[in-house]
Amino acid sequence: MKRLRLTSQSVSALRRPLTLQQPHLVTAPALTQTRYNATSISQRPDAKHVSFPGAVKSAFVNSMHFEQPAMHAAIPTYRVVDQHGVVVDPTFTPDLSDEEVIKHYRDMLTVSVMDLIMYDAQRQGRLSFYMVSTGEEAATVGTASALEKEDVIFCQYREQGVLQQRGFTLPDFMNQLFANRKDPGKGRNMPVHYGSKALNIVSPVFQSQG
């Protein structure tokens, strides 16, 4: 067995920082890290505004009223509580039970986590099509919660929260996305074209023009 002899020169060489002489020698993990900056919402701690696609700086306001878009560089964003959970609208009166609040939060979180997983699945080629609803979870879950079960809903892309709030389960989502034998549409629709007769939700329908 050959022994490796470390000289003072070799030890000093090992202590020097490693530099890549050729750019293409970047390791695989560095190339496969998933980034979601394109669909993320930027909000610094204690910020006075929020930044999202379509509004570079949307100022927070604590009163609900109609705004004229021409009067603002970005339409303000209304909020009831700040990021610390403090109520900032003095006229707000809670009208939901603790159980309802927890359910809405779980619905929003479920959709958000599912989007992250299925976003990766689509990028890996496991799905032909997928659209996330990042930043729209509250709007869809909250809107659906204000409707009755008998109300018919015509959904659009990025409205997974509506189905989640109505009772669409994760297996229901997966069956439709992967068009398996349990998919009510029998694979006739593209992924994310969810629908449910039992929940009175009509799947999106698009007509190509040729």
Identify the pLDDT of residue 192. Answer: 93
Classify burial at 133, counting beta carbons within 10 Å of its beta carbon; exposed 0-12, middle 13-18, buried 19 or more. Answer: buried
Q: Which residue has the higher pLDDT, 39 or 149?
A: 149
In contact, 165 and 144? CB cutoff 8 Å: yes
Q: How far is CA 15 from CA 18, 19, 193, in A?
A: 9, 12, 56
Please report, rounded to a whole number, the percentage of residues in the chain having pLDDT higher than 90.
Answer: 48
Query: What are the residues whose beta carbons fall under 8 Å from the beta carbon of 138, sequence distance 6 or more?
Result: 108, 161
Confidence of residue 17 (pLDDT cuts 50, 70, 90): very low
Rg (CA), the chain: 25
Does an H or E element contain 101, and which?
A: helix 98-123
Model pLDDT, residue 73 = 82
**Pick the residue with more confidence: 135 or 116?**
116
pLDDT for position 206: 63
Kindly indicate the confidence band of residue 15, based on its pLDDT and cuts at 50, 70 and 90: very low
In the block, tokens 């659009």 appear at 156
Which range (5-19, 41-55, 123-137) has the least confidence? 5-19
Domains of the chain by residue range: 47-91, 98-202
Predicted confidence (pLDDT) per residue in 45-103, tens digit:
888 888 766 667 888 999 988 888 888 888 888 889 888 889 999 898 988 999 999 99
Q: Strand 77-78 vs strand 55-61: parallel, antiparallel, or unpaired?
A: parallel
pLDDT at 42: 56
Amino acid at 91: T
117 and 170 Cβ atoms separated by less than 8 Å: no
CB 194 within 8 A of CB 201: yes
State residue 77's pLDDT score.
87
